[in-house]
Structure 1
Amino acid sequence: MPVLAVAVVVLLVDPVGGADAIWLPLLAAGPALAASTNGTRGVVCVGLLAAALGLLLGTRHGVPARELAAVLSVLAAVTLASGLVSVLRTRRERVLAAVRSVAETAQHALLAPVPPTVGPFEVAVRYSAAAAEARIGGDLYALVPTPYGVRLIVGDVRGKGLPAVGTAALVLGVFREAAHDEPDLRTVVERIERSLARNLGPDDFVTAVVAGHPGDDRLEIVNCGHAPPLLVRPPGDVTVVEPPRPAPPLGLRALHDETPTLHVLPFAHGDQLLLYTDGVTEARDRARAFYPLADGLRRRLTDEPARTLSALHDDLLDHVGGRLHDDAALLLIRKPPAPGPASAPSPAPAAEQRV
C-alpha cells in the first residue's frame, strides 16, 4: 500500500531528526499514489491512515497546533483531489474496456477467424494492428470455400483509423459475396473495383492480392498493386510471385488504362504460398533496415503453417524491437502432400503358394 511506504520513510526520519512539520507533508504522497491503483474507497482509507499517522506523530513531537492543522488540511485536500482522479481513472478504464469489447466484436465480424483447414489447404493467419488498443486496422484478409474452389484475399487500405476499417469492411463484404457468385476471378476483382469507385474518395485506394484454387494443381492470382506473394516449393525454395503485368490498386482504375491480369501458376502437393501486407516488409530495425521476409521465411519454414507463422512473427518482432508501427498481416496456405498408395499385401511364403 502506498501510504505504508511513505509512512516507513517518515518513521525512519523520526528517530533521527524528529517527524516535525517539515516531514509530515510527505504523508500526502500516500493518497496521491493510491489514486493510480485504488478506487475511491481505497484512496479515502489511505488518506485517513495518513491523517491519523500525521496527527499521532505531530502530537508526539509537539508540533504547534497551527502547523499541524495546516498539515492535516493538506492531507485532506490531496485525498479529495486523489479521490476525484480515481473516479475519473475508473470511468476511463470502463470506457476503454467497452471500446476493447466492441473492437474485439468488430474484429471477429470483419476478420473472421480462419480455421486451420479450408478445402484442401492447411491455413494459418497472424495479424497485428498498429493501434494496439483498437486491435483492428486497415489490413484485411479472408479465405472462403466457394463453388469455384477456395478463394482468398489479402489487402491493405491506404490510411489508418476508422475510415480504413470502414473501407476494409466494404472490400471484404464485396469479396465474400462475389467470390461465391462469379466463376471468373477477374470478375470478382472487377466487382470490388466498381464498389470502391462509388464509395472511396479520389485519393483513397486499396492494394490487394486475390487468389483462387479452381480445384486442380494450380493457383489463379490477380495482383492489384500489392506486395507479391512468396511461393515455397519443397524442400524450401522461396520464389517471389511477380505479376506478369503491373496493375493499379483497387479504386484507382479510372486513372489508369490498365486492367489486372490473371496469373496462373502450378501449385502442387507440398507447396506453400505466403501473402502479407507492407507492414511486414517495411518494418525496420534500429539501423533502419527493412525486415528480410524471404530470408526469414526460409529460416523459419516448417511443414505446419501455424508453427511457421508463429516463428516468423516472433522473428519480425525481434527485428523491430518488440512493437510494430504499422498494421501487419500474414496468411500462409499449404497444400499437404498427397497420401501414399495403399500398402500392397505381402506375398505368401513359397510353401503356401503351392497348389
Structure 2
Amino acid sequence: MNRTWAWRPLPPVAGETFGGFVRRLFVLVLPGIWVAAILAWELAGTGHAQPLQLLAAAPAIACAGTGRRECVVLGGLCALIALVPLGAAGQDTAPATRLGTCAAILVVVAASYLTAGRRARLLRELARTRDVAEAAQRLVLRPLPERIGGIRVAAGHLSAGEGALIGGDLYDAVPTRYGLRVVIGDVRGHGLPAVGTVSAMLGCFREAAHDEPELSGVLRCLDRALARHLAGRGGPAPEEGAGAEDAGMAEEFVTVLLLQVAQGGEYTALNCGHPWPYRFSSGTAEPVAQDEPLPPLGLFPLPDRLHPLSGRLAGREGLLLYTDGAEDARDAHGAFFPLHAELLACLSGAAPPPLAPRALVAAVRDRIVRHAGGRLTDDVALLALAEDRPHVPA
C-alpha cells in the first residue's frame, strides 16, 4: 500500500542513530559534569564558597534534559553538598550562607519539577491532538490502494505547512461502472479554509463519480459544490448552475483535472486550470496535450459544451498527474524544479519493467525534496497510474 510521505517520517540512518545516542548521553552526564566542576573549583579554595551557589543550576539542567526524577535526586544531592563545609574557604563560610544556598537549590528543584510536569502534560495533549488531526486528515485525503481493477495506482502528497499532513491539494481515484475516475486539484491558499474546500470537493467527487454517466457531469457537480461551499462561508447560496463569481467569491478558485480510464485503456480528461499530465512508459515520456485548459473552477461559469481530451493507453503505459507545487519548488538559488519529459523519461527508464507507478512517484518525490532542500513553498501532490492488464482487440 502506498502512503502519503508527510504522514510517515523517514527511518533514521545509522549516522543519525549514533548522533542521537551521543546527544542523549551528553544530556545525561551534563548535570554530573556541572556538579563535579563546581566541587573541584570549591575544593581548590579559589572561589571563597561562591561556586556552591552555582549548584542551583544543576537541578534545572537535569530537569530540562532528562526528567523529573533525576531533577529531584540531583537537587537533593546538591542541597546536601551546599550544607557541608568544603575546603579552607568553606570552613570560614557562615552557616546562614550555606542555608541560603541550600534553600535556593530547593526552590529551583520545586520550580523545575512543576515546570517539567506541566510540559509533560502539554506534550501528551499535543500528541493526542496530532493523532486526532492525523486520523481526520486521513479521512479527507485517504491513501489509495496499489491496484484498482487492472490499473496500478500510486499517489503521494507533500505539505508545505509545518506540522500539516494535508493542505490545499486534493486527489482521489474511484472505481465505477464507467471506469476508473480520478481527480487531482489545487485549492487556492493554505490552512484550515483550504482543507475545508478540499473536503467539500472530494466529498462531491466521490458521490458524483458513481452517479454521473459523463465526465462533464462530474465536473459540473464539482462546480456547483464549490459555489455552495464558498457561498456558505461568505453569503447566501447561489442558484443552481451559477458560478462562484456570481456569489462574490471571485478570489477563491480550484484547479481541477478529471480523468476517466475505461476497460480497454481509453481515457478522457477534462482540465480546468490544471497542469496537463505526462504520458510515460519505460524510458519515454511526453505531455498528453499542449492545449490551453479551461479556467479554474470558481472564476467563471462553465461553458455550455465541454470537449474532453481523448486518448488510449497501451499496455505498460501510464499517466503522471501532479499539482503546480511540483514545478514551483525552488532550490537555494531560486531555480524552479525541472519537471519535464526528459526527466520523467530518465526516471521511468531507470525503473525495472514492468514500470511501477509507485517507483516513479517516489523518484519524482525524492528529486523534488532534494531540489528544494526540504523547504517547500507550496503543497505538492503526485498521482501516477499505469495499465497492467492485457488488452483484447475489439
Structure 2 length-normalised TM: 0.78
Q: Which residue of 2 aligns with 1:162?
A: 192
Q: How does 1:1-355 map to 2 (within 5 A)?
A: 1=28, 2-18=30-46, 20-56=48-84, 61-62=90-91, 63-200=93-230, 202=249, 203-232=251-280, 234-242=281-289, 244-254=291-301, 261-294=307-340, 295-301=342-348, 302=351, 303-336=355-388, 338=390
> Matched residues in 2 for 1:17 and 1:314: separation?
60
One-letter amino acid of the counterpart of residue 241, structure 1: V
Structure 1 portions without partners, runs of 5+? 341-355
> Matched residues in 2 for 1:272 and 1:77: separation?
68
Give the CA deviation at 1:118. Answer: 0.9
Does the 8 A contact of 2:315 with 2:391 survive in 1? no
| Residues 57 and 112 of structure 1, relative CA distance in 2, 3 Å threshold | farther
Query: 111-120 or 168-177, which moves further after superposition?
Result: 111-120
| Residues 257 and 186 of structure 1, relative CA distance in 2, 3 Å threshold | closer
> Matched residues in 2 for 1:243 and 1:208: separation?
16
Does the 8 A contact of 2:155 with 2:358 survive in 1? yes
CA deviations on 1:268-292 (whole Å, 9 max, x unpaired) are: 1121211112222111110111111
> Matched residues in 2 for 1:83 and 1:190: separation?
60
Q: Which residue of 2 aligns with 1:346?
A: none
> Matched residues in 2 for 1:206 and 1:57: separation?
75
Cα RMSD after superposing both structures: 2.5
Q: Which residue of 1 aligns with 2:15?
A: none
Query: 139-148 or 314-323, which moves further after superposition?
Result: 314-323
One-letter amino acid of the counterpart of residue 78, structure 2: A
Give the CA deviation at 1:39. Answer: 4.4
Does the 8 A contact of 2:150 with 2:387 survive in 1? yes
| Residues 284 and 212 of structure 1, relative CA distance in 2, 3 Å threshold | same
Structure 1 length-normalised TM: 0.86
Does the 8 A contact of 1:100 with 1:134 survive in 2? no
Provide the aligned length of Structure 1 versus Structure 2. 338
Query: Percentage identity across aligned positions?
Result: 38
Structure 2 portions without partners, runs of 5+? 1-27, 235-248
> Matched residues in 2 for 1:248 and 1:173: separation?
22
| Residues 7 and 123 of structure 1, relative CA distance in 2, 3 Å threshold | same
Q: Would you identify which runs of 4 or more consecutive aligned residues in structure 1 move more than 4 Å?
A: 17-20, 57-60, 256-260
